[in-house]
A and B are shown apart, each in its own frame.
Chain A
Amino acid sequence: MKKIVVSVLIIAVILGYGLLARRYYQNNKLKFTVPKNNSAKSKQTKVVVHQKTKSVFQNGNFIGQSANAYWGNVQVEAIVQANHLSGLNILQYPNSHSTSVYINQQVLPILKKEAIQKQSSKVQIISGATFTSEAFIQSLASALRKAN
């Protein structure tokens, strides 16, 4: 029985999210961007309208409709940051069964990912895993070799 409850709830959350995502995709096909104006002299601001094929979300928090998920109502809130879905809040969930409460605790935010890329080394300080004196001396020696 527990397994059925678990499956139903997972499906309900996925469906809820899917519907929400589709709605925002449909609403946000047109993306407005204001290009950065680098020239201080020009006072004109151009607004470019892109026809996007990929979904772009508007920033903000969006609350979905409350949906019946057999053991009770489920309602989710989507958090959109930097035009990406960055998290989901469960506003309503069936809480009369311990399994439902357990599932709610397992819902994790969707965090932004990227491939790491080399950046300008013009920084004042460097943070890294505990740099030992030995590593420091090696690094200093190689820097001095380059300077020669």
Chain B
Amino acid sequence: MKQTKLIMAMPITLQVNHDQDLLLHQTFQRVFRYFEAIDEKFSPYKSRSQISRLNQNSAHYKPSKQLKEILRICDDYERKTNGYFQINYNGIVDPSGLVKSYAINQAYSIIKEHYDDFYLEVGGDIVVSKPVNSVQSWTIGVRNPFELDQIIKVIVLQNGAIATSGNYIKKNHIFNPINGQIVANPVSLTVIGQSIIEADVMATAAFAMGPEGINWLEKLNGLEAYMIESDQQATMTSCFEEYIK
């Protein structure tokens, strides 16, 4: 069973390979409702969301347990990325960059309670699962940033997460928080990891570092990456090819 819904201004697709029964329908409903709830709570565009209220009155606003957890994870990653992952811009706190992968991670756990053959894709970020000892893998295409209907790399993955950062769809939404400039190069950076939070945050941070970001990713354990630059040349980390078809 496969469904796509537009939530948080993004297409969200869930596919679970299993006979259709009541539990499966309930699981799809739970997952989509979870994303709707997260959007209500943490969207910076909704005036009653926790993020908007935090920014309206940061001195007196008491963050919920969940918001505290999100802010704590952001803090950890700000340190791990030497400030290249930032949620504070000009005095405004916007953890949207983490809320998305945090929600994917939670939704993954909801599905995993009952199923182990599925994928969940939220606006280009992906988690996949295959049963233990399965001989099958999921095939994931990396979008060509210069020709959006083309695939330029095929990744095979049984269990794990893939995130891609780029400025080619939402124009110029990633900038270097250290110097405040829009990142013009690379144009696309795909990261494979075990956790979607890790893959997504590290892709964003490394993207903000510019073409040097891939060298930084190379030094990190458990992550592989594929970077595309404006001259249409790609650079990959040393074990990336293990995931290539």
Q: Which one of A79, A111, A128, A129 lies within 8 Å of B215 (CB-CB)?
A: A111
Q: Which one of B6, B125, B169, B237 lies within 8 Å of A127 (CB-CB)?
A: B125
Given contacts A127-B142, A132-B170, whether A108 and B215 have CB atoms under 8 Å apart is: yes
Q: Which one of B100, B126, B238 lies within 8 Å of A86 (CB-CB)?
A: B238
What residues on B are CB-neighbors of A139 within 8 Å?
148-149
Q: Which one of B148, B152, B169, B214 lies within 8 Å of A116 (CB-CB)?
A: B152
CB atoms of B9 and A125 under 8 A apart: no
Bits for B5-22, please: 1 = Cβ < 8 Å to A, else 0.
010011101010000000
Interface-lining segment among B29-37, B69-77, B158-166 = B158-166
Q: Within residues 26 to 49 of chain B, which ones have a CB less than 8 A from any CB in chain A?
A: none
Q: Which one of A81, A117, A126, A136 lies within 8 Å of B6 (CB-CB)?
A: A136
Given contacts A79-B238, A123-B140, A124-B119, whether A116 and B232 have CB atoms under 8 Å apart is: yes
Q: In the complex, what's the smallest C-beta–C-beta distance from A108 to chain B, in angstroms? A: 5
Cα distance, A34 to B166, chains bound together (Å): 40
Q: Which residue on chain B has the smallest CB distance to residue A123?
A: B141
Q: In the complex, what's the smallest C-beta–C-beta distance from A63 to chain B, in angstroms? A: 18
What residues on A are CB-neighbors of B10 within 8 Å?
130-133, 136
What residues on B are CB-neighbors of A116 within 8 Å?
144, 152-153, 228, 232-234
CB atoms of B140 and A127 under 8 A apart: yes
A49 interface residue per 8 A CB criterion: no
A72 interface residue per 8 A CB criterion: no
- How many A-B pairs have beta carbons closer than 8 Å: the answer is 147
A118 interface residue per 8 A CB criterion: yes
B3 interface residue per 8 A CB criterion: no
What residues on A are CB-neighbors of B61 within 8 Å?
none
CB atoms of B138 and A120 under 8 A apart: no
B92 interface residue per 8 A CB criterion: no
Show the binding face of A for B, using Cβ within 8 Å: 79, 81-82, 86-87, 108-109, 111-136, 139, 142
Can you name 9 A-B residue pairings with CB atoms under 8 Å? Answer: A113-B236, A116-B228, A124-B15, A124-B119, A126-B121, A127-B155, A132-B169, A133-B9, A134-B9
Show the binding face of B for A, using Cβ within 8 Å: 6, 9-11, 13, 15, 100, 119, 121, 123-126, 128, 138-145, 147-155, 162-170, 173, 188, 190, 214-215, 218, 228, 232-238, 241
Closest 4 CB pairs of A and B: A129-B166, A128-B143, A123-B141, A136-B11
